């Protein structure tokens, strides 16, 4: 993650921006959900209205025009329709072959609808949501009972005319309960989406960055290489915390490196560091040459460590610390233990002659191979031990080290 991807902002400013975006998105979705609900309800209402109008049209035509399409019957039909359904507008238009006068009074939209009904000779309906109305028409055909009054002027199944209607949708008369329902749908949609988006924002910008910093802090160990992965964050305050930790870790690492440079013993066993071994060995050789003393060099190679008690879950550092304690039980205060590598250790034993070092060699091996010792510490160490004595085996540092390592192999 590069700094160019994320530009940190103050939490207050970022929160205002995100809240504005969340509000707009939630309102948009809430309107869409509410609109879909309204559309579904209105669709059901419109279907019911259309079915009712079709049924009313067929019933009224059947009741009032069964005895003929006369002015008296038409007047009775309109009178009944206007009294029974005052909110609806009806118009009864004869077929083009019978009368053209009535259609001239219609609006252009109604004329177009009438032409379509006459052409297709089927019931048609148009819905105007903006005006809240349903416009349609029902074709009328001569039936057998109509032929008694229209003998010689009509045929069975002939197109007689069209009953046009313009009626308001009942869905536009929204009750208080329906209005409350729409409001509840809108609020629930808005609150649900806003909550989810806000939760996502807080997790991505606050919870996850803080968890990342916490996890990194939990992995820092003084006994390992100090590293801090710098990650830019969207919130300026959290980004400043990350930057401050990065700076402090770098400073602490610098101090730790300087302290490590002057450190004499290593932290896992407490033995002297390998970089002081050659200097100590040369100094001991010079001292023995001056005072005509002997001294011995003992090498210990640790091949493996077996944990006899699996329930303790001891770390390698704990096992090595126990190893160093067992070694210290057999060396003198004047002896100097060194850790040369991960599994190679060297003891410098001033004024220890060959007979003494042979005895020490046997005791050390027996100590680590002793079952009682293994049961005591619940650890089994696999080691090999070698030794060399100045000046019997060599008189210079490389020769002494080589002799001890060769004897260790035997």
Q: Say if residues 93 and 103 touch (Cβ distance below 8 Å).
A: yes
The pLDDT score that the predictor gives to residue 2 is 43
Provide the token pair at 298.
């003992």
Closest CA to 347 of 395, 389, 316: 389
The pLDDT score that the predictor gives to residue 1 is 41
Residue 196, C-beta contacts closer than 8 angstroms, at least 6 positions apart: none
Closest CA to 181 of 380, 361, 72, 42: 42
Q: What are the sequence ranges of the domains in the chain?
A: 11-172, 272-409
Distance CA 216, CA 226 (A): 11
pTM for the model:
0.41
Element spanning 135, H or E: strand 133-141
Q: Say if residues 397 and 310 touch (Cβ distance below 8 Å).
A: no
**DSSP assignment, residue 285?**
H
pLDDT at residue 297 greater than cutoff 70: yes
What is the dihedral sign for C-alpha 387, 388, 390, 396? negative
Which residue has better confidence, 43 or 307? Answer: 307
Distance CA 383, CA 305 (A): 9
Residue 284, C-beta contacts closer than 8 angstroms, at least 6 positions apart: 295, 348, 350, 390
Pairing of strands 379-390, 295-307: antiparallel
The pLDDT score that the predictor gives to residue 183 is 82
pLDDT digits (tens, 9 = 90+) for 77-90: 666 666 666 666 77
- Domain spanning 272-409, CATH class: alpha beta
pLDDT band at 102 (very low <50, low <70, confident <90, very high): low
**Does the fold of domain 272-409 match that of domain 11-172?**
no
The pLDDT score that the predictor gives to residue 117 is 81
- Domain spanning 11-172, CATH class: alpha beta
Q: In the β-sheet with 336-339, what is the strand arrangement from edge to edge? A: 272-273, 336-339, 344-350, 295-307, 379-390
The pLDDT score that the predictor gives to residue 136 is 77
Q: In degrees rounded to 5, what are phi and psi of residue 356? A: -70, -40
Long-range contacts, 10-14 (Cβ 8 Å, 24+): 10/235, 10/236, 10/237, 11/235, 11/236, 11/237, 14/205, 14/234, 14/235
pLDDT band at 261 (very low <50, low <70, confident <90, very high): low
pLDDT digits (tens, 9 = 90+) for 225-234: 667 778 787 7
pLDDT at residue 154 greater than cutoff 80: no
Q: Give me the chain's average pLDDT, please.
A: 78
Closest CA to 122 of 98, 141, 104, 144: 141
What DSSP letter does each residue of 286-315 carry, written as one string?
Answer: HHHHHHT--EEEEEEEEEEEEES-GGG---
The pLDDT score that the predictor gives to residue 46 is 65
The pLDDT score that the predictor gives to residue 389 is 95
Provide the token pair at 365.
């091996």
Average of per-residue pLDDT across 206-226:
73
Provide the token pair at 186.
């809108």
The pLDDT score that the predictor gives to residue 288 is 92
pLDDT at residue 219 greater than cutoff 80: no
Average of per-residue pLDDT across 133-154:
66
């Amino acid at each position: 993650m590069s700094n160019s991807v994320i530009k940190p902002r103050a939490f207050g400013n970022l929160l205002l921006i995100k809240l504005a975006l969340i509000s707009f998105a939630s309102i948009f979705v809430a309107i869409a959900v509410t609109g879909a609900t309204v559309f579904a309800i209105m669709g059901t209402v419109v279907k019911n209205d259309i079915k009712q109008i079709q049924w009313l049209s067929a019933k009224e035509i059947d009741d009032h025009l069964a005895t003929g399409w006369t002015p008296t019957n038409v007047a009775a039909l309109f009178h009944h329709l206007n009294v029974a359904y005052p909110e609806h507008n009806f118009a009864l238009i004869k077929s083009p072959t019978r009368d053209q006068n009535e259609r001239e009074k219609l609006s252009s939209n109604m004329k177009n609808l009438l032409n379509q009904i006459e052409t297709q000779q089927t019931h048609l309906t148009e819905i105007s949501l903006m005006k809240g109305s349903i416009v349609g028409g029902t074709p009328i055909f001569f039936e057998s009972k109509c032929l008694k009054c229209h003998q010689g002027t009509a045929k069975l199944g002939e197109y007689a005319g069209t009953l046009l209607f313009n009626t308001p949708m009942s869905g536009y008369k929204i009750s208080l309960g329906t209005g409350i329902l729409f409001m509840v749908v809108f609020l629930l949609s808005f609150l649900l989406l806003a909550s989810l988006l806000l939760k996502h924002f807080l997790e991505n910008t606050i919870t996850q960055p803080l968890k990342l910093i916490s996890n990194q802090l939990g992995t820092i160990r003084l006994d390992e290489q100090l590293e801090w992965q710098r990650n830019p964050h969207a919130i300026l305050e959290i980004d400043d915390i990350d930057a401050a930790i990065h700076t402090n870790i770098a400073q602490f690492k610098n101090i730790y490196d300087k302290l490590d440079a002057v450190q004499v013993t290593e932290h896992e066993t407490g033995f002297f560091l390998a970089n002081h071994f050659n200097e100590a060995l040369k100094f001991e050789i010079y001292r023995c040459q001056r005072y005509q003393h002997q001294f011995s060099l003992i090498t210990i190679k640790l091949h493996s460590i077996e944990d006899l008690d699996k329930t303790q879950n001891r770390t390698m550092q704990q096992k090595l610390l126990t190893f160093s304690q067992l070694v210290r039980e057999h060396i003198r205060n004047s002896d100097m233990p060194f850790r040369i590598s991960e599994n190679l250790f060297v003891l410098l034993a001033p004024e220890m002659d060959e007979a003494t070092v042979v005895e020490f060699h046997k005791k050390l091996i027996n100590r680590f191979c002793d079952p009682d010792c293994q049961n005591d510490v619940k650890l089994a160490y696999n080691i090999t031990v070698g030794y060399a004595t100045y000046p019997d085996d060599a008189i210079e540092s490389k020769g002494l080290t080589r002799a001890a390592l060769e004897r260790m192999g035997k």
